[in-house]
Amino acid sequence: MDTSRTKDFRVAIVGGGVCGLTCAIALAKKGVPVDVFESAGEFLEIGAGVGLGPNSVRILRGLGVFEDVLAKSTDPDLNMNAFRFISGYEGHEVLYDNPLPKEDCGIGILRSACFVVPAFAFLNALVGHFDKSKAHFHKRCTNVTPSAQNPSRLVLAFADGTTYEADLVIGADGIRSSVRSIVTGRPSDANLSFSNTIAYRALVSWDQLKDKGLKTDLTKGMTCFAGKGRHIIVYPINGGKTINVVAFVTNMDGDIPVGNGKLPLGAQWVCDAPKDELLSKYEEFGSDIKTLLSCVRKSSKWSIHIVYPPLESYVNGRIALVGDSAHAMRTHLGAGAGQGLEDGYVLSHLLGHPSANANNLEQVLQVYDGVRRPRAQEIWERTARTGEIYEGRGPSGFSPEGFTKDLTYNWECVWHHDLDGDIQAAVKQLEEAGVF
Ligand SMILES: Cc1cc2nc3c(=O)[nH]c(=O)nc-3n(C[C@H](O)[C@H](O)[C@H](O)COP(=O)(O)OP(=O)(O)OC[C@H]3O[C@@H](n4cnc5c(N)ncnc54)[C@H](O)[C@@H]3O)c2cc1C
């Protein structure tokens, strides 16, 4: 239902990444007037592949954008139909094999147009669903303050000296969010920490791997090569022609404890990684890993940061956070983007509710926080525990028995969460409080 003519409030989203743009589409589809302000010159994401689990797929389907995402990728259908865990060490023993039923399949896709041809882009598929006239580029938000004329409205200030007035602001400006500091009242990096983990990212041609004699078939779904203090996640994209590689190395000594906020790569979080360095990190791994890494032509090195300590609230007055700005987490469940999509989906249902209006936005956001923060934090914590399992520090040990015990049902709460149930409970709460 398009209620745009009846809504008496306007939303401004800061940040047009995956979560900001999905949130904008969800709000617009609910008839909420929404503009997106992005600091870059276009909707663009740096990175390689992204894996989206069944919870993300359900949201994209619910928004009516999933078929376009599939159409923009070269995969005709969900391609994440298995998740195998294999020892990274010689012999490459299978530790745990998790063939996924149809309803649990996900998709691995390239993120953006900048990496390869536009036909593979995730963001490109989303862009087609958002009114271009509502997307504003080169708009780096520097502050959000109450309007002098009407203190219940908010004024966004941008680095280019311009301003924009809205009734509600959503910070979707990623892990180094500016809006977060406005919500918390603390500097943005007060809730930012190094996770103790470095990720090397690369794309490798499957044909080349076959020619080099790789024994493990990497085209059938996700594979995790597990080892002590390091693991490698690989999955097919681009119709199985390309293998997305994310190789993790964790500082086991813990001499950079989580929480101290130090950046191990200086101010640079992402930089090029020399191939020798990548190979040297996996010297103890077996022949398939040596083959895989020898085929890497170009790799980047990411210092994985997280939102930590967790925020006490995602909301302050009429300002709310979604996605990484609220809860950037380790990558081990492939759940970060999905949690941001869930934020936007819930928010769009609450703000798009026929009873949401300019007078009750603060109460609506409080309920959003109450629903989303425990859920996202639960996944944040599970993600940390999952990394420990992959790297030989799980409670049941580094063995097929240990992996089976620790990983069976590990994704249930990520993938099978009843998000619509959350929305219904939130609406009921607002009704019982007399807000709706
Ligand atoms: C190595 C790695 C692998 C990952 N793999 C997965 C995976 O497989 N599955 C998964 O679900 N997640 C994965 N993630 C996590 C996922 O990438 C993030 O959770 C997701 O991209 C967050 O989206 P976002 O829109 O919140 O933030 P971002 O994608 O960071 O977007 C923020 C946007 O805001 C803009 N911006 C920033 N500041 C301002 C400002 N002041 N004003 C205006 N605009 C601004 C930026 O230009 C950017 O476009 C991975 C992350 C990493 C690092």
> 3-class DSSP state for residue 348?
helix
- Is residue 6, in this structure, part of any structural domain at all? no
> 3-class DSSP state for residue 123?
helix
Nearest CA residue ID for atom 21, ligand 1: 337
What is the Å distance from ligand 1's center to 271 Cα?
17
Q: The domain spanning residue 371 has which CATH number?
A: 3.50.50.60
User: How does residue 256 score in pLDDT terms, banded at 50, 70 and 90?
Assistant: very low
Same domain, yes or no: 182 and 211 = no
Same domain, yes or no: 59 and 153 = yes
Note the pLDDT of residue 107: 66
- Is residue 4, in this structure, part of any structural domain at all? no
Q: Is the CB of 387 under 6 A from ligand 1?
A: no
Q: Which domain, by its residues, includes 244? A: 198-304
What is the Å distance from ligand 1's center to 18 Cα?
7
Q: Is the CB of 38 under 6 A from ligand 1?
A: yes
Note the pLDDT of residue 74: 53
Nearest CA residue ID for atom 7, ligand 1: 334
Same domain, yes or no: 316 and 299 = no
Note the pLDDT of residue 122: 74
Note the pLDDT of residue 106: 67
> 3-class DSSP state for residue 201?
strand
Note the pLDDT of residue 412: 87
Residue 115: CB atoms within 10 A of its CB come to 17
Same domain, yes or no: 100 and 162 = yes
- Is residue 52, in this structure, part of any structural domain at all? yes
Give the contacts of 142 (CB within 8 A, at least 6 positions apart): 157, 158, 159, 178
Domain boundary among 244, 279, 304: 304
Nearest CA residue ID for atom 18, ligand 1: 337
345-385 per-position pLDDT tens digit: 999 999 999 999 999 999 999 999 999 999 999 999 999 99
> 3-class DSSP state for residue 273?
strand
259-274 per-position pLDDT tens digit: 445 554 445 678 889 9
Domain boundary among 282, 304, 326: 304
- Is residue 121, in this structure, part of any structural domain at all? yes
Same domain, yes or no: 319 and 421 = yes
Note the pLDDT of residue 123: 80
- Is residue 406, in this structure, part of any structural domain at all? yes
Same domain, yes or no: 186 and 202 = no
Q: What is the average per-residue pLDDT within 380-406?
A: 95
Give the contacts of 149 (CB within 8 A, at least 6 positions apart): none
- Is residue 3, in this structure, part of any structural domain at all? no
Note the pLDDT of residue 45: 58
Q: Is the CB of 199 under 6 A from ligand 1?
A: yes
Same domain, yes or no: 318 and 332 = yes
Residues 237 and 205 sit within 8 Å (Cβ to Cβ): no
Give the total number of structural domains in the chain: 2
Same domain, yes or no: 187 and 332 = yes
What angle do helix axes 336-351 and 54-62 make, rounded to 10 degrees?
A: 30
What is the Å distance from ligand 1's center to 396 Cα?
33
* % of the chain beyond a pLDDT of 90: 68
Order of strands across the sheet that contains 135-136: 135-136, 34-37, 11-14, 168-171, 319-321, 315-316
Same domain, yes or no: 46 and 185 = yes
Note the pLDDT of residue 230: 95
Task: State the Cα–Cα distance between residues 227 and 252, nearest whole angstrom.
Answer: 12
How wide is the angle at C-alpha 246 spanned by C-alphas 240 and 247, nearest 5°? 135
Q: Which residue has the tokens 């894996």?
A: 51
CA 283 from centre of chain? 30
Q: What is the average per-residue pLDDT within 66-82?
A: 68
162-197 per-position pLDDT tens digit: 999 999 999 999 999 999 999 999 998 889 888 888
Same domain, yes or no: 41 and 182 = yes
Q: Is the CB of 302 under 6 A from ligand 1?
A: yes
Q: Which two tokens stand for residue 93?
A: 């023993």
What is the Å distance from ligand 1's center to 172 Cα?
9
Note the pLDDT of residue 172: 98
23-50 per-position pLDDT tens digit: 999 999 999 999 999 999 887 655 555 6
What is the Å distance from ligand 1's center to 322 Cα?
11
Q: The domain spanning residue 248 has which CATH number?
A: 3.30.9.30
| pLDDT value at 421 more than 70 | yes
What is the Å distance from ligand 1's center to 156 Cα?
21
Say which range, 83-92, 94-103, 299-308, 337-346, has the weakest mean pLDDT.
94-103
Domain boundary among 256, 281, 304: 304
Atom of ligand 1 nearest to the CA of 44: 49
Same domain, yes or no: 140 and 171 = yes
Cα 22 to Cα 8, 42, 346, 368, 387, distances in angstroms: 22, 15, 11, 17, 27
Same domain, yes or no: 219 and 290 = yes
What is the Å distance from ligand 1's center to 17 Cα?
6
Average pLDDT of the residues of the chain: 88
User: How does residue 108 score in pLDDT terms, banded at 50, 70 and 90?
Assistant: low
Q: Is the CB of 19 under 6 A from ligand 1?
A: yes
